[in-house]
Amino acid sequence: MEVNFILNIDMPNCNVNKMELWSPKSALCLRPGYRVRLHRFESEEWVVGYGWFSFGGNRPMCGWFLTKDAGLTVKPLQLPDLDDIYIVKM
């Protein structure tokens, strides 16, 4: 069974609300909490996140990620994902 999780670590000097990620290809600006759709997962809506997370039994890491199913599914946000985004909801 694959275990995915997001760690809630207090980051007192980090304002996640001011974090943004620019897509080099599409010039999209993403922020934590935005809802996106990817072409290869057309019927699924993902939520953009930033912070500590783990996926596929790997060690926790800090960075950009996507979640769905109320956070039960977590995947790292990688460059191919940025190129694949076609809907952004704030």
pLDDT of residue 6: 55
Residue 22 or residue 1, greater confidence? 22
pTM higher than 0.75: yes
- Encode pLDDT of 45-55 as tens digits: 999 999 999 98
pLDDT of residue 8: 52
Q: Residue 35: is its pLDDT beyond 90?
A: yes
Mean pLDDT of the chain: 80
Q: How far apart are CA 37 and CA 41, in angstroms?
A: 7
Q: Residue 63: is its pLDDT beyond 50?
A: yes
3-state secondary structure of 34: coil
User: Averaged over 49-62, what is the pLDDT?
Assistant: 90
> In this structure, are strands 73-76 and 29-30 parallel, antiparallel, or unpaired?
unpaired
